[in-house]
Amino acid sequence: MKTRENLARKIVFVVLFILALAWGYPVFMILINSLKGDTFISTNSVFELPNSGSFVGLKNYTNALGSKGFAAAFGYSLIITVTSDVLILICTSMCAWYITRVKGVLSKLCYALFVFSMVVPFQMLMFTLSSTADRLDLDTPFNICIIYLGFGAGLAVFMFTGFMKSIPLEIEEAAMIDGCNPLQTFFQIVLPILKPTLISVAILETMWLWNDYLLPYLVLDRKKYMTIPILIQYFRGSYGHVEMGPMMACIMMTVLPIIILYICLQKYIIKGVIAGAVKG
């Protein structure tokens, strides 16, 4: 029996290792090509490791950092990610608290609508959303967080609700007896208990917000505002020439922070998902 279990574990390990290599290979290709000159990226040398002829060091990275619009695009991406993340975490955790503690038809209907929103394709809404954002002046990096709240609420409410059901009601009742109002009870008692799921949702939402291309492309005024994913598409030199080296470097600088964040905090994602799934 133990022999079969060990064999099964080894097979699973090998399969997962192969999948990890398959997922990591594109990132590795971007990394090695970000160290080459443009000529070698556009030819058959794209799959070769940098050598004495193709290696340009950090030149592509310095060109990407010094390119027009990179600093502004990085700033806009950071503003959108931070504001949207904070708004999603606060609003959805409070909503999940209401759904869990207030038993009724309205709370059940709200939960069903949030879960349903997770399966609605973005393509069904994008054209209507674009015109609506223009009319409501939501087409700036400072206001787009309201739109992101709507799209990110489904998963966040689902995860928060699952974990919220495991919190004993007696803790909140004791806080009420001690004189806490609902807001004090939530922020001083409930929110600290939500830490595992809070971190999990924050990481998942951050990866989505930072890498999102389609929503900012449709909503933002690209003559004034560009995020990093949009800037990469317009990474062109004179006469429309695509600067492949700086583009690869820009992609690498965009992807690397999220990869590091995920690797460092992946244990919290697993804990948060398991807590919400098992205890809910």
**Same-domain status, 47 and 91:** no
Q: 99-108: string of b/e by CB count within 10 Å (b at 16+)?
A: bbbeeeeebe
**Same-domain status, 168 and 113:** yes
Q: Could you tell me which residue, 278 or 266, shows the higher pLDDT? A: 266
Residue 172 CA to residue 190 CA, distance in Å, equals 8
**Same-domain status, 103 and 135:** yes
In a domain, 265, yes or no: no
In a domain, 39, yes or no: yes
The answer to whether residues 243 and 235 touch, using CB atoms and an 8 Å cutoff, is yes
Q: What count of Cα atoms within 13 Å lies in the side-chain half-sphere of residue 212?
A: 28
DSSP 55: B
Cβ-based neighbours of 135, under 8 Å, separated by 6 or more: none
Q: Could you tell me which residue, 94 or 70, shows the higher pLDDT? A: 94
Q: What CATH code is carried by the domain that includes residue 134?
A: 1.10.3720.10
**Same-domain status, 30 and 163:** no
What confidence score (pLDDT) does residue 3 get? 78
Which candidate, 203, 220, 214, 210, places its Cα nearest to that of 251?
210
- Angle, helices 70-101/145-164, rounded to nearest 10 degrees: 40
**Same-domain status, 53 and 180:** no
**Same-domain status, 21 and 142:** no
Q: 148 pLDDT exceeds 60?
A: yes
CB-CB neighbours of 202 under 10 Å: 20
**Same-domain status, 102 and 227:** yes
Rg over CA atoms, the chain: 23
Which candidate, 219, 120, 201, places its Cα nearest to that of 155?
201
Residue 161 belongs to what domain range? 67-234
Which candidate, 195, 211, 217, places its Cα nearest to that of 272?
195
In a domain, 165, yes or no: yes
The structural domain count of the chain equals 2
**Same-domain status, 81 and 175:** yes
Residue 227 CA to residue 72 CA, distance in Å, equals 8
At 177-224, the pLDDT tens digits run 888 888 888 988 888 888 888 888 898 899 899 989 889 988 888 788
Q: What is the pTM of this model?
A: 0.82
**Same-domain status, 182 and 45:** no
In a domain, 254, yes or no: no
